[in-house]
């Protein structure tokens, strides 16, 4: 496959979804990671697409009508892992011993919860994977959401009396996408869960790697005015950083070590 053919294939893929990882492109193109990165650099230089941590994203207005369906948790867990871990390290510094916090479902929040497992904290979570980890390996006080188990998107949700008596200093959550309209999700269950839990916290801290600015799911869950702090990685563009700061949100940028996988 020639350079031109590969570039055309990448552009076609970005019409179907707004982000593709290096690993995704290796599978589609059948070439090495080094070749994929050279292709990404070329498309970024020409302005056809945008190089982001771990892969490539469609530029604003390019590709599909800026809608994206949620990836399965098991698939999303393996994307931009170093960025998510860096975000979790920085987010951990926002937590003080003795705090009562809520940690939502999602892969970035999972990394934060793992780091907090042995801290002197009271943690409420609706995340099935995180609750299992904290129950087995943690020493923190754990409060688990009640209701039905939804294996996709990996949360426990339903008629829950436990959250009614729980009030958190901070609610840490992830998101599928970010825009001027706020934080965005495509799964209706996550929309309901986030809306419900957001009413039980003093502050909302959003954990989102820089890819999320290129994703446009269909539902606006919370406006930017409800977010007090955003922790993202150093792949965030100046344009998106300005949008966050103009909204009055504290922006914390985690430095990601190493080369994107």
pTM above 0.85, yes or no: no
Residue 253 in this model has a pLDDT that exceeds 70: yes
Q: What tokens were used for 249? A: 């949100």
Q: How much is the pLDDT for 19?
A: 76
Q: What is the pLDDT of residues 139-198, one digit of tens each?
A: 999 999 888 888 878 888 875 556 778 999 999 999 999 999 999 998 888 998 999 899
Q: How much is the pLDDT for 66?
A: 44
Strands 155-157 and 177-179: unpaired
Q: How much is the pLDDT for 172?
A: 98
CB-based contacts of 96, cutoff 8 Å, min separation 6: none
- The answer to whether 69 and 186 are in contact (CB under 8 A) is yes
Identify any residues that bridge with 50 across adjacent strands, giving them in sequence order: 57
Integer CA distances (angstroms), 158 to 36, 90, 149, 189, in order: 44, 31, 9, 10
Residues of the chain within CATH 3.40.50.1360 domain(s) are 73-254
Element (H, E) at 111: helix 107-116
Query: In this structure, which topology does domain 3-58 adopt according to CATH?
Result: Arc Repressor Mutant, subunit A (1.10.10)
Query: In this structure, which topology does domain 73-254 adopt according to CATH?
Result: Rossmann fold (3.40.50)
Residues of the chain within CATH 1.10.10.10 domain(s) are 3-58
Residue 73 in this model has a pLDDT that exceeds 70: no
Q: What tokens were used for 167? A: 């009030």
């Amino acid at each position: 496959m020639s350079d031109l053919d590969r570039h055309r294939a990448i552009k076609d893929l970005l019409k179907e979804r707004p982000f593709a990882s290096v690993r995704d492109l290796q599978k589609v193109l059948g070439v090495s990671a080094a070749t994929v990165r050279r292709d990404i650099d070329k498309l970024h230089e020409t302005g056809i697409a945008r190089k982001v941590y771990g892969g490539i994203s469609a530029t604003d207005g390019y590709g599909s009508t800026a809608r994206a369906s949620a990836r399965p948790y098991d698939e999303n867990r393996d994307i931009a892992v170093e960025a998510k871990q860096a975000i979790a390290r920085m987010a951990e510094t926002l937590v003080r011993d003795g705090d009562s916090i809520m940690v939502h479902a999602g892969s970035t929040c999972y990394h934060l919860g793992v780091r907090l497992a042995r801290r002197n904290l009271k943690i409420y979570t609706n995340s099935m994977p995180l609750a299992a980890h904290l129950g087995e390996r943690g020493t923190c006080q754990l409060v688990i959401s009640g209701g039905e188990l939804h294996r996709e998107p990996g949360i426990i949700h339903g008629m829950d009396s436990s959250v009614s008596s729980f009030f958190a200093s901070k609610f840490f959550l992830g998101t599928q996408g970010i825009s001027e309209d706020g934080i965005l999700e495509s799964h209706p269950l996550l929309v309901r869960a986030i809306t419900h839990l957001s009413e039980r916290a003093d502050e909302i801290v959003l954990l989102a790697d820089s890819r999320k600015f290129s994703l446009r799911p269909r539902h606006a869950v919370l406006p930017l005015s409800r977010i007090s702090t955003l922790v993202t990685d150093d792949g965030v563009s100046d344009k998106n950083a300005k949008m966050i700061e103009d909204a009055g949100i504290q922006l914390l940028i985690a430095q990601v070590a190493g080369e994107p996988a």
